[in-house]
Amino acid sequence: MAQALGVLRPYNCAHPLIRIGPESDGGYLLPDCLQGITAAFSPGVSFEFGFDLDLLARGIPVHMADASVDLPKNLPDGASFEPLFLGPKTHNQWITLQDWVTAKAPADGDLMLQMDIEGHEYDVLASAPRDLLARFRIMVIEFHHLHRFPRAADFDRFEAALQALSEDFVCVHLHPNNVVHPVRVGPHHIPPFFEATLLRRDYATDLRPNESFPRPLDRPCAPDHPDVAMGVFWSGTL
């Protein structure tokens, strides 16, 4: 377990973190190296897409997908919306990341991924080709149900997804979703849901381990609950 989770051990890097999106759930910390990103992909829209609007304001086209909500009203120029779920195979209401990027992305240039798809992220990441993932300069992923992964039945999916990320990405920020309380697993209290910001290794310079959380720009996802400290679980001791 510790080796797999090492992929999510966070580092400071040469790029300072900035906040994109609202001052609550749906806002994320990203490294300040967005210049030149040609498109962002945002599966899992729900009813909050302030993050996407902020990217559009910076001149980055945004492609959104979510089959659980209707087409957002007054969709601004530079945005697209597909009533589809992201998954490991394209069928019915589902589309793969590969097929979606092929249909919507420019032929060249770096991309961004912001993904909150309620647990399907593991199969999506594990099934995506490495050259596709490497087109994303920055990824912001909400990982779900982490407390389940010491179980043998779930660990393989988790490990496969993190292995896919480990080839080309470094974690530069973590933030627990405080909507639910951490769950005790052995000697540790693990946040079941948390947001991870990952940066492609060619941009991840001057790396220094960071175990100080939350960061100054972090905000609780649920404003009426205190934020959650990551704790020693993230120091690689599990």
Q: What is the CATH number of the domain that holds 191?
A: 3.40.50
End-to-end, the C-alpha distance of the chain in Å comes to: 7
3-state helix, strand, coil in the chain (%, to 5): 25, 25, 50
DSSP assignment, residue 51?
Answer: H
C-alpha angle 193-197-199 in degrees, rounded to nearest 5: 150
Number of domains in the chain: 1
pTM beyond 0.85:
yes
φ/ψ region of 80 (left if φ > 0, alpha if ψ in -120 to 50, else beta) reads beta
Domain of residue 87: give its range: 2-235
pLDDT in tens, the chain (238 residues): 555 677 888 999 999 999 999 988 889 999 999 999 999 999 998 666 789 999 999 999 999 999 988 877 778 899 999 999 999 999 999 999 999 999 999 999 999 999 999 889 999 999 999 999 999 999 999 998 877 776 666 788 888 999 999 989 999 999 888 887 788 777 777 788 889 999 999 999 999 988 777 888 999 888 888 777 765 445 444 4
Contact between 4 and 236 under an 8 Å Cβ cutoff? The reply is no
Which helix (DSSP H) or strand (DSSP E) does residue 20 occupy?
A: strand 17-20
Whether the Cβ atoms of residue 177 and residue 195 lie closer than 8 Å to each other: yes
Asked if 112 and 60 count as a contact pair (C-beta separation under 8 A), the reply is: yes
